[in-house]
Structure 1
Amino acid sequence: MSSCSATQNTSPHNDAMENSCAASSCCSNKTQSETSTIEDQTSSVSDSMQLSWIITGMDCPSCATKVENAVKNLNGVTQARVTFATERLLVKVENRANISDDILKTIRELGFSVKDDTSSKPAENSFLKKYWRILSLALVMLAAVLIKGTFPVVGDVLFYLATLWGLYPVASKAWQLARNGTPFSIETLMSIAAIGALFLGETVEAAMVLLLFMIGEHMEAFAAGRARQGVQKLMELTPETAFQIDSDGNKTEVSAHTLKPGDIIEILPGSRLPVDGELLTPNVSFDESALTGESVPVEHNSGESVMAGSLSVDRVARFKVISKPGESAVDRIIRLIEEAEERKAPVERFIDAFSHWYTPLMMFMALLVAFVPPLALGEPWVEWIYKALTLLLIACPCALVISTPAAVTSALARASRNGALVKGGAALELLGSVKTVAFDKTGTLTEGKPAVTHITSFGSSTQNPEHEVLRLAAAVESGSTHPLAKAIVARADEMHIGLPVAEEVEAKAGLGVQGLVEGRMVVVGSPRHLQGSIDLIAGAQQKLEQLEEQGNTIAVVTVEGHLVGFIALRDNPRSDAKRAVAALKAMGINSVMLTGDNPRAAAAIASQLGMGYRAGLLPGDKSSEIERLQENGRVAMIGDGINDAPALKTADIGIAMGSGADVALETADCALTHNRVEELADLIGLSRSTMAIIRQNIFLAVGSKAVFLVTTLLGMTGLWVAVLADTGATALVTANALRLLRNRSNNTKKG
């Protein structure tokens, strides 16, 4: 057991025109070579460097803390961080000679290894190195048991030797940990208990304590590996090499990390895409199950973006690289998982703080047990020293400290596998207590693919006035990534309308966009922003209301302040939006749509989905509405645009759609990478299940300690039983936490 002591060019119309920018990749800490003997990525900035290694042998999150503390204490190290989920050590150091050697030496002295540190040795030697000491200890103890009946003295000697054999690595590690800032480790407690038992002549129990301790360590290592499997599989999705096509059509195999945006690559059937790419080959099917959970291959057409890690099912496919090195969709997921460990749940932070004083306190209590009864009451020294040693082993906080991170790690791994990234235990804990979910409309509840349904012109003297309205509007919208702007430009393209160049284009959040077209100021904006121009034209307001009542969003077009027309657009609800709202309602959670769209269009969407709404909101108004909703309990906000960022920050939990703008993803506490809002109910259910398991684990850990504390003081349990109980409790809470990896749907759990 381990001691557990990017600016988007956006057209900001009304909220229905809220930003639903295309997914952009985000940096990751994924290693450049998982198979190298020592992964040492070095970036030199003046006199400082950043180094990175993969560390193996960490059984629980406290192991990460051990490594961090030890490395931080080295001369020349300015910062160190270990991510338990990905087993990565990131170190910022002064640029001095041999500092890498010092770090590696410290890691190995603590009993951990650098990945593939033994790669030059045969595989069987690695296995023997891992299990030799525990197997040999068990064999010596077995021999001692067999001999002791006939030759008691020889049997005792063998138990004595077995104890020393098992004690050496434990005591050595305890000494190194103490030197590097972790004096109150389980290795320290175990060493004191084993040495004390030897002095008392309890050689059998001393050896048994160490054997059970070693078995417990391997059990924790197995559990930790299971909890990390999801992340490790994700890290292995992208291949290390790719076939690059040069300008002459020649194909060369290159390292995937050398690819840059604009490069042309080719993948074969049955191969995975190493980077995010724009498909150049028409009609190719991809297996995206590892990323999206969808078992049915998805067909993509040329021009569409395909995520790294997707597997070509049926044909050779060529791509144009669109992600920078380390910034693919897979890299973004890994980065967020690594960052999540720094955002611990409140209960996790409490237990961490508790463990810092718990072990020293228990050691002090053990001293009192050892000395007070004999000195004050004349009790036998041997009996109370033995009880004190047993108390030391009961004091091991492994089960308690691992109870929360094991559950959180398992939950985060399952969430990422099912298409949801949660930035840490704090967000995971809060999700389960949400009373209201506020939804953005465009791109969140709707598909984010609006289409022009109607064009109305006013007072134009041209032969085709509707075309003129569309031509002017598309000219100023042509540089925007906003869904409504793209729909206007797409309609102009369909009608083969040539677009003039717009100059001095300026966008204003939530209001509209303007620019000079052929020397005239053209404004495309929301009705409320241009209401004055609408009021000047007879019948314009009635036409506006008629279009809005049909569920349309209206873009108003003016030239030099004069109304020239309306462009009506409609965006249909997502196919899963109604199911998401119904699932949340079944969990006792209210849903409300916050939109800047007109009340009539908002009501049409809300009635289809069975939810409440607030319409006509500017970005700042959304934050105010969130604050009002918070009067009735915790609120989660889900959106995808730049306009949503303030509300995402104001809400207790901000949730971004994975295809949203960078600022929304950075601001949010969670992200739905598959862009399916129905996953939200499962995510909340997962949070409730996680907190229930954490409560169960804490009860099991604390309860077992309390029971064996009493039985020890009453003389009913001894050293080996205490270790067995601690190992059992640790295994039990870990196994309980691993249940979260198997459960896939919790949206009916009320918690």
Structure 2
Amino acid sequence: MPDDTRAPGQAHTPGEARSGTALRYHVAGMDCPSCAGKVETALSRLPGTAAVRINFQTQILAFELDEAATPRGDVEARIRALGYGMAPVEAPRVVAEGATPEPEAAPSPWLSRLWPSQLWADRKLRLAALLGALLAAGFAVEHLAPALGALPWWPAAALGLWVFGRKAIALARSGSPFSIEMLMSIATLGALAIGAASEAAMVVFLFTIGEVLEGVAAGRARSGIAALGALVPRQALKLEAGVARPVPAATLRPGDTILVRPGDRIAADGVLLSGESEVDESPITGESIPVARAAGDAVRAGSVNGGGVLEVRVERAAEDNTIARIIRLVEQAQEAKAPTARFIERFAAWYTPAAAGVALLVAVLPPLLAGGAWDTWLYRALALLLVACPCALVLSTPAAIASGLAAGTRRGLLVKGGAALETIGRVRAIAFDKTGTLTEGRPRVTDTLPLVGPERPLLGIAASAESGFSHPLGRAIQARAAEEGMPLRPVREARALPGRGVEAVVSGKAVVVSAPFHAATLAPLPEPAAAAVARWEAEGKTVVVVTVEGTHTGLIAIRDEPRADAAAGIAALRALGLRPVMLTGDNPRTGAAIAATLGIAVQAGLLPEEKQRAIAALEAPSAMVGDGINDAPALAAASVGIAMGGGTDVALETADAALLHDRVLDVAALVGLSRATLANIRQNVAIALGLKAVFLVTTVAGLTGLWPAVLADTGATVLVTLNALRLLRHRFAA
């Protein structure tokens, strides 16, 4: 959606500063893209409005307003005049467990069981009930007093015409003259004029039922976000001076400590201070197997504690925890229109006026040119007006996109908008970073070869020399020494040797931990050591030589191992017909070894700008999968960038999509979801246009009349919506 949808004459000039207040409203009753378009058009015509963003799925309207040009109350009055309710929204809409997601009265229990939305509080349902009662009364009176003719049907028709005619006039004044309300009102008024009052009454009743069904479907589609928000518990046990007391979870702030009992949901993003447990993160990441968490590990709000008692230091406030950020990203993604949706909206913009023009020709040409009966052709023209309604067509793409985004979120696949979701399914080549993407990103010691003395002292000396540095290879050596129970020795005069290693004085002895090429300048490598270096490097391992007082005392091999599902993930992509390739800055030997293990082509030794050029050379459209930190140029160069980051800030806020659970198989799952969404869109468009084509012919031929035309439009809208909702049950192959 454009950032600025102001009417001609109100657009900002280049360089003009926007000084408006940022506002967010919940717009009740906005259940389809057509509704959203009407609100957008009406709002953009008011002076002082800018940056209009509207999301019919979440019913959120966001815009900037210069209240000196248009008071806030005038904006609210304009939208309410169109028949929509408005309520200000403050901060992210995270729904507490057990809370009601919409600001409307609760429905009766039996209605709650029947429908996901709070329909009884909806005036559309009340109007439908009243119209139904009037129709029933009209039917009874017509049969009891046939002399009254069509008069018993007039109350229902007149009520519908009064309700929808007023809205049609308000929409026309707001810049939407060819609304479905206008088409329906003209058809109803025309039917009354030619004496078809019973059909006029049926038209307004069926139209109202269609509006109710749209509300049901929209409520079902948006329930996913409400359910996600409900994952965060309303209360938490805050620890103060050793005492745990319940407090609202929304009041927690970074630095607070909370107690999480077995079976409780974790109330905030944080770090474990004490305790061990298995934590169920499936509501957030989609991973069904609980993961072990101990002191120092990060935990997420909404996940469920297993059997241990945990103390958690809060790292994020409620409005910025993982759940809240996911909700914001999903809402923003739904606001971003897909290319197909933008095309269909442009198509609908001229389709409806053109269809209205055709209806006018149908009304006048046959009587004027062929002597047809005016009543007959006027009736057919009125029915044709109803066939012209573009609701189902306009809904076809955003409904599928919204369901696809929701299905992906449940799996831990976040996609930032319909454009990215569409593109992912069309990619032909996928490039992967190596470290942290295809591999775990945590190098580990795989082999040691002592040249002087046993293994344990070798590890202890190397770990001590590396203890003052944070290089991944050094951390791997320190971790292995800790596993072996080797204490660190006193160190002084430690310094890094850029590109070569480190040196330090350990327990009074000069120690160098360095790459083989540098170690060879200190002393020749023995033949067994040189052979081991060659063998290990051929296996994709990084080798360091430990030298003490000028004598080589041993070798240590380190490798960042492939992820457990990396080979299966690459195979799944090949099965989908995609060409995967690994782009890495690591040395060619290491890159080739990892690539051979995974069965993927490789380009190694690449600098960031060379990765970017390699992406540009791939068959378009292409995707890049990286860790979201050091792959920014390549991610930007690809048609779609996918970040693997386990829910970190970078993974959630960079690239076009993020995999919350670090699984290579999820890339194939994302491609499959995108393709299913594209197929759903094609089906929806076929349903919408196909039904319209059929009823266009039958209406002109006189085989169908007014109420079948309305029923066809309502039926198409319902079918399109139900077909889109099938994506919520999408079965991921991996």
CA distance in 2, matches of 1:693, 1:447: 35
Name the counterpart of 2:388. Answer: 395
Once the 2 structures are TM-superposed, how far is the Cα of residue 564 of structure 1 from its aligned partner? 11
Alignment match of 1:698 (pick from 659, 663, 685): 685
Q: Which runs of 5+ in 1 are unaligned?
A: 1-44
Post-superposition offset of 1:392: 0.8
Q: Which residue of 2 aligns with 1:573?
A: 562
Please give the residue correspondences for 1:518-537 in structure 2 after superposition, counting only pairs within 5 Å. none
Aligned with residue 82 of structure 1, among 54, 64, 89: 54
Shift of 1:719: 0.8
Q: Does structure 2 retain, via aligned residues, the 8 Å contact 1:578–1:610? A: yes
Q: Are residues 226 and 367 of structure 1, via their aligned partners in 2, closer, same or farther at CA, if it must alter by over 3 Å?
A: same
Task: Tell me whether 1:595 sits opposite 2:581 in the alignment.
Answer: no
Match of 1:194 in 2: 188
Q: Which amino acid aligns with 2:624?
A: M
8 Å CA contact retained: 1:619, 1:644: yes
**Structure-2 change in CA distance of 1:403 and 1:281 (3 Å):** same
Other-structure match for 1:62:
34
Corresponding residue for residue 231 of structure 1: 225
SS of equivalent to 2:63: strand
The residue that corresponds to 2:487 in the other structure is: 496
Q: Which has the higher contact order (CA 8 A, sep 6+)?
A: 1
**1:299 to partner: Cα distance:** 3.5
Alignment partner of 1:730 is 2:714 = no
Q: Which residue of 2 aligns with 1:161?
A: 155
Structure 1 Cα separation of the partners of residues 139 and 584 of structure 2 = 76
Match of 1:222 in 2: 216
**How has the CA–CA distance of structure 1 residues 634 and 589 changed in structure 2, closer, same or farther, with 3 Å as cutoff?**
same
CA distance in 1, matches of 2:40, 2:553: 65
What CA distance in whole angstroms lies between the structure 2 residues aligned with 1:659 and 1:498? 36
- In the TM superposition, 1:497-512 aligns within 5 A as 497=488
Separation in structure 2 between the aligned mates of residue 377 and residue 503 of structure 1, nearest angstrom: 101
Q: Aligned partner of 2:641: which letter?
A: G
Distance 1:97 1:383, change over 3 A: closer
What is aligned with 1:650? 637
Amino acid at match of 1:384: W
> Could you tell me which of 337, 343, 348 is aligned with 1:344?
337
Give the Å deviation of 1:333.
1.5
Contact kept, 8 Å, 1:450 with 1:571, in 2: the verdict is yes
Aligned length: 686
**Which residue type is aligned with residue 557 of structure 2?**
A
Structure 1: distance between partners of 2:492 and 2:209: 73
Contact 1:524 1:556 in 2 (8 A): yes
Give 1:281 deviation, angstroms: 3.4
Q: 1:228 to 1:492 in 2, by over 3 A?
A: same
Query: Displacement, 1:396?
Result: 0.3
* Structure 1 residue 401: Cα displacement: 0.9
Give me the whole-angstrom Cα distance separating, in 2, the residues matched to 1:550 and 1:738: 49
What residue identity is the alignment partner of 1:579? Answer: A
User: What root-mean-square deviation, in Å, do the aligned CA atoms of Structure 1 and Structure 2 show?
Assistant: 3.8
2:619 pairs with 1:640:
no
Residue of structure 2 in register with 1:208 after alignment: 202
The CA distance in 2 between the partners of 1:697 and 1:610, in whole Å, is: 38
Does residue 111 (structure 1) correspond to residue 83 (structure 2)? The answer is yes
The secondary structure found in structure 2 opposite 1:616 is coil
Structure 1 pair 126–651 and aligned structure 2 pair: CA distance change class (3 A): closer
Find the partner of 2:608 among 616, 619, 632. 619
- 1: distance between equivalents of 2:628 and 2:199? 64
2:695 counterpart of 1:708: yes
Residue aligned with 1:710, SS: helix
Aligned in 2, Cα 1:604/1:506: closer, same or farther, shift over 3 Å? closer
How many angstroms does 1:516 deviate by?
11
Match of 2:375 in 1: 382
Alpha-carbon distance change, 743 to 465 in structure 1, aligned in 2, over 3 angstroms: closer
Matched, 1:417 2:410: yes
Aligned pairs for 1:26-425 (under 5 A) are 48-94=20-66, 99-113=71-85, 114=87, 117-119=103-105, 127=120, 130=123, 131-154=125-148, 156-246=150-240, 248-425=241-418
Q: How far apart in 2 are the matches of 1:132 and 1:93?
A: 34
TM (normalized to structure 2)? 0.84
The match for 2:707 among 700, 708, 720 is: 720
Identify which of 433, 443, 451 aligns with 1:450: 443
SS in 2 for 1:739: helix
Q: Could you tell me how far 1:744 is from its partner in structure 2?
A: 1.1
Give 5+ residue unaligned stretches, structure 2.
1-16, 88-100, 112-117
Could you tell me the percent identity over the aligned residues? 47
Within the alignment, does 1:585 sit opposite 2:578 as a pair? Answer: no
Per-residue deviation at 1:212? 0.9
Tell me the SS of whatever aligns to 1:314: coil
Deviations 1:189-237 (A, max 9, x none): 1111111111111101111111111111122222222222222211221
Whether contact under 8 Å (2:275, 2:309) holds in the other structure is no
Q: Is the 8 A contact 1:641 1:660 kept in 2?
A: no
Cα 1:598–1:369 shift into 2, 3 Å: same
Provide the TM-score with structure 1 as the length reference: 0.82
Distance 1:140 1:437, change over 3 A: same
Q: How does 1:740-751 map to 2 (within 5 A)?
A: 740-745=727-732
Contact 2:586–2:606 (8 Å) recurs in 1: yes
Structure 1, residues 105-136: CA drift from partner, whole Å, max 9, x if none?
33433323347554499999972654221112
Cα contact 2:465–2:494 (8 A) shared by 1: no
SS at match of 1:184: coil
Report which stretch shifted further, 131-140 or 610-619.
610-619
Q: Distance in 2 between matches of 1:642 and 1:517?
A: 35
